[in-house]
Structure 1
């Protein structure tokens, strides 16, 4: 057991693992020199390696070098690792905060009490290193709301475990005596704590790399699911999510289909850049009115869809009318000119149509066609059993349109499609 729990051997293992981390991360940094995260991690691992070597040679080097400079370097490495996590979370690093522990250590090191008492030195070391570990865990945990990566709990747990080990060393110093003496061997509990800390350092680097990979995967997935112009869901993503929602939905769900009126005329008159701006501002307006469980997507050129759970046909029509009025107040400025934007909306719901996406889309499309036939800039809701009839939904502009049958001649849309 004494041969297995040999602290100098653990120091060597610690130094080798830190050096390997520095070499691997440094190689990645050479390929991506613009990465602040990789740069800080490389510097942290290098400083940590130097600090471990200096402290491991405690018997051969002068005390200020081995314990002063060596442990100070280890604190700086821990602070830099914390700031690497800060950068990973999209914030600016603070190198002063990273060096604060080492600065405190340097200021206290040459005081008489610090020089004479190993318990005092161990207490300060445990407090600084444990606090840095907790701060890293807190940064990772806070990021879960903004970016829910699967391994966040694991990474935060690893850093919390590192803090616990440091605080155990702190408490153990007073409960079981000094972590080492010049005459006696190292206490077994301290050797075990050092081994645990070494393994947790390796795990902390690995979990941070896993988080980076998960972020890249998530971003790629989001890009594939998002419309590149408006950044709302695309048709494929909407279909998948809507079908999943309807399959587990027992209450009614309403589907709103939007079609920007005379969009081809906007493109022809003001240019395609103006049309793109209209689409972006229109989608931003809709997104600003979305609740967390609503699904919004761009499913065609100027066509959008919104699926609202726990909503019937009447409430869906009310929501659509509020959105129509909001769009009517939207004035997009293009080269000093104001472009008026209106929208036609068709509404269908599973309490009036089949609880499957395809029939629901077909029913909403019939209602949307009726809205355009009746003069655009209005809301129509689907009537079951009447493929070409809809009823009026909060339309004050044409109160008799709900009872007018749809003619046999189709109306050509502004974009040239029927």
Structure 2
């Protein structure tokens, strides 16, 4: 099958233009994602460059060669810039556009402009470098678990390799310097590969941005907006997961800040919010690694500590209670914060979360009834019956 280069270029123009428009439309709906806008501009520039390349022989060569390749190289620099924007790295537009600037300036040198191998080698080296740099930046951001990262790395790396493969080929199997360059099979293969890359990378970049948006939405749903700890829904799900392992003892601690309504009434809700945040910071600093802290609602918090029995859980709860009692704010010398704590353990109350929660809540109620600012541990069922 013979690939028709002008037809491929025309299809590439249409596809690249559509992809660029799609990126810009998506950015219009998600203005915080600057990468979408950069990728959109990059693909529109690539579409215009492909259109100029397709007009080789119709328009002056300095336009179809010099200007077209300057735009194309600039487009690859912008794709790399979009990757950096997506990875929340510093934008280096100076570097991104330096390749295009170098190409444009060298085209003013007759010796370079007249050498087809030199032009192919430089353009391939720069475009391949930007693709490779994009692949490296996506790899460096792998701490953010996005499934589409790896297809993006493969695509960018493969396209960099394709461009760099043109460098030795430019020396051993150069494009024809005379006649119609459009008849070259290498140019047709490059056009076909570029069209496939455009479509594949568009799907991949869109998938990356969609995955991140979904992760952020999930994180927002799982996080209490004021304190930054787990929401009730996320806490219950994580607690049930820990309780599903019968080999691990688990302790559930319920904290309720004493007389919190009085704090709000006396000092205002801003101070009340500060107290809630202060409690979470204090508790998070004193709880053991692996402990899960969540906000159940209002001034009530819960903590699940794996591998803790009643005595160890009591020691942790007492440590948090005492630290909170010594919390002092110089601007509010009369402000005092206390917490009542109820504890239930899987060894005494079983591994059903609802049952464990009821037992911890009963212990918490007992702590409040016995004077507040204290810790109570739920007794085993037989001991309570006695």
Provide the residue aligned with 1:67 in structure 2. Answer: 65
Provide the residue aligned with 1:88 in structure 2. Answer: 86
Q: What are the residue-to-residue correspondences of 1:14-413 with 2, within 5 Å? A: 14-28=12-26, 36-111=34-109, 113-145=111-143, 147-174=144-171, 176-183=172-179, 188=185, 191-248=188-245, 250-288=247-285, 293-332=290-329, 339-385=335-381
Tell me: CA distance 1:31–1:244, structure 2 relative to 1, closer, same or farther (3 Å): closer
Q: Distance in 2 between matches of 1:149 and 1:177?
A: 40
Q: Deviation digits for residues 375-408 of structure 1, max 9, x if unmatched?
A: 433433333236769xxxxxxxxxxxxxxx9xxx
> TM-score w.r.t. structure 1 length?
0.81
TM superposition shift of 1:253: 2.0
The alignment covers a number of residue pairs equal to 385
Provide the residue aligned with 1:398 in structure 2. Answer: none
Gaps of 5+ in 1: 390-404, 406-418
Q: Deviation digits for residues 207-231 of structure 1, max 9, x if unmatched?
A: 2222222233333333333323223
Q: Deviation digits for residues 155-199 of structure 1, max 9, x if unmatched?
A: 33322222222222234334x422444248755455334322321
Alpha-carbon contact 1:113-1:120 (below 8 Å) kept: no
Tell me: CA distance 1:254–1:127, structure 2 relative to 1, closer, same or farther (3 Å): farther
Q: Deviation digits for residues 262-297 of structure 1, max 9, x if unmatched?
A: 212212221223212211222233345567743221
Tell me: CA distance 1:326–1:85, structure 2 relative to 1, closer, same or farther (3 Å): farther
Q: Distance in 2 between matches of 1:283 and 1:42?
A: 43
Alpha-carbon contact 1:225-1:236 (below 8 Å) kept: yes
TM superposition shift of 1:75: 1.2
Alpha-carbon contact 2:310-2:344 (below 8 Å) kept: yes
Tell me: CA distance 1:229–1:386, structure 2 relative to 1, closer, same or farther (3 Å): farther
Alpha-carbon contact 2:342-2:365 (below 8 Å) kept: yes
Alpha-carbon contact 1:297-1:304 (below 8 Å) kept: yes
> TM-score w.r.t. structure 2 length?
0.87
Alpha-carbon contact 1:89-1:139 (below 8 Å) kept: yes
Tell me: CA distance 1:126–1:313, structure 2 relative to 1, closer, same or farther (3 Å): farther
Provide the residue aligned with 1:393 in structure 2. Answer: none
Q: Distance in 2 between matches of 1:82 and 1:330?
A: 50
TM superposition shift of 1:354: 0.6
Higher helix share: 2
TM superposition shift of 1:83: 1.6
Alpha-carbon contact 2:12-2:191 (below 8 Å) kept: no
Where 2:254 maps in the other structure, the secondary structure is strand
Q: Distance in 1 between matches of 2:273 and 2:162?
A: 56
Where 1:321 maps in the other structure, the secondary structure is helix
Gaps of 5+ in 2: none
CA RMSD between the two structures: 3.0
TM superposition shift of 1:51: 1.4
Where 1:61 maps in the other structure, the secondary structure is coil
